[in-house]
Amino acid sequence: MTRETSSITGIYAHGTPRLGSVEINSYNVELKDEEGFLGDRANKASFRDILERWRKLLRQDPFGKEPSENIKKKALDAVLVGEDTEASAIVHSAIEEYAQELAYVIRHFLKAKAWERTERIVVGGGFRDSRLGELAIARAEIILRNKKFNVELQAICHHPDDAGLLGALHLAPSRLFKSYDSILAVDIGGSNIRCGVVETRSKKSSDLSKARVWKSKTWRYVEDAPGRDGTVKWLVKALDDLIDKASKKKFRLAPFIGIACPGTIESDGSIDKGAQNLPGNWESSKFNLPLCLIKAIPQIGEHDTAIVMHNDGVVQGLSEIPFMQDVKRWGVLTIGTGLGNARFTNRDDETDN
């Protein structure tokens, strides 16, 4: 006897510019000036390069010969409040120079047509998860205000590791949460891949502000150089394991996977550009991650699997939707291997898609 299956109706297209509560005005914008891509001036590597230059001025470097790119954020945070005033001053100087660069990049975004009248910018990515990152964000806002740019800058509410998974909830049609209490989410970055079970907790908050990551798996694939096929194989195994764990805990797991991935995402799930930091060729016309996953995981429970993939900066920004209801136009910058970006406008005509 064949098992009856059904699929989710009203599913969004991959890379859609319009979701239930927001319009995505732009994302993955690659602005340039006379020196090249602007994002390179304010990504994670940029801060490390700035720090390396300032360290050369120290009489006695507390980090010894350790390259700046290998110094942990916690170690830098400790120096900020430590008793070595010269070392603390050097880190503060690096923060100040980086904040100037970040403000410069943001000014160019705000001058772009898609970013006009932006009221608030949320800053996410791994750099935000540190005291030095928080100081750089706050300092950049002051610099912008001094330049007569009236825009708020604030750190993303959730831990960046969770934000990339929580945002996937907003890729799913809202009616899904009437029948299910959790979804699978995937966040693919330039160094790590993370997947998890996200609880909606919609009974506690219908706007999903109380949602949380119940369980997750992370792989720092950049250290293993697995290639594209190896990465997909790990992801399928990790998702299967999470499905099994969610079933044992009696979660009502939706037949849905939300994916955050670098690059410009086409409506068929292919990647047009911007995936150069991923292992292997993800922009190949012969590769489609959503189709690969549906083939490997055709059903979740008794229903056909549905998948929506969008840009990783967009998805991290989507996690902020419940906290952006006091503004109309807002954006997100994610500071990591690259500088992810997305601009949103809240919809007045929110519908239950």
Q: Which pLDDT value is given to residue 349?
A: 63
Tell me the helices (H) and strands (E) count for the chain, helix number first: 8, 14
Q: Which pLDDT value is given to residue 196?
A: 98
Q: Which pLDDT value is given to residue 1?
A: 28
The domain that holds 103 is classified in CATH as 3.30.420
User: Could you tell me if residue 1 is inside a domain?
Assistant: no
What are the residues facing 261 on neighbouring strands?
311
Residues 55 and 113 in one domain: yes
Give the span between the Cα atoms of 27 and 139, in whole angstroms.
25
User: Could you tell me if residue 4 is inside a domain?
Assistant: no
pTM metric for this prediction: 0.92
Identify the segments of the chain with pLDDT beneath 70. Answer: 1-9, 349-353
User: Could you tell me if residue 337 is inside a domain?
Assistant: no
Range of the domain at 55: 32-155
Q: Which pLDDT value is given to residue 128?
A: 83
To the nearest 10°, the Cα dihedral for 78, 82, 87, 88?
Answer: 80
Last-in-domain residue among 155, 180, 204: 155
CB 305 within 8 A of CB 144: no
By C-alpha distance, which of 162, 155, 222, 149 is closest to 195?
A: 162
Q: Which pLDDT value is given to residue 212?
A: 97
**Residue indicated by tokens 């029948």:** 179
Residues 294 and 166 in one domain: yes
Q: Which pLDDT value is given to residue 126?
A: 83
By C-alpha distance, which of 189, 176, 192, 121 is closest to 150?
A: 121
Q: Residue 59 CA to chain centroid, in angstroms?
A: 39
DSSP element (H, E) containing 289: helix 289-296
pLDDT digits (tens, 9 = 90+) for 99-108: 999 999 999 9
Query: What interhelical angle do 227-248 and 289-296 show, nearest 10?
Result: 50
Q: Which pLDDT value is given to residue 8?
A: 60
Residues 197 and 270 in one domain: yes
CB 125 within 8 A of CB 102: no
Count structural domains, the chain.
2
pLDDT digits (tens, 9 = 90+) for 173-221: 989 999 999 999 999 998 899 999 999 999 999 999 999 999 999 999 9
Residues 184 and 292 in one domain: yes
What are the residues facing 37 on neighbouring strands?
32
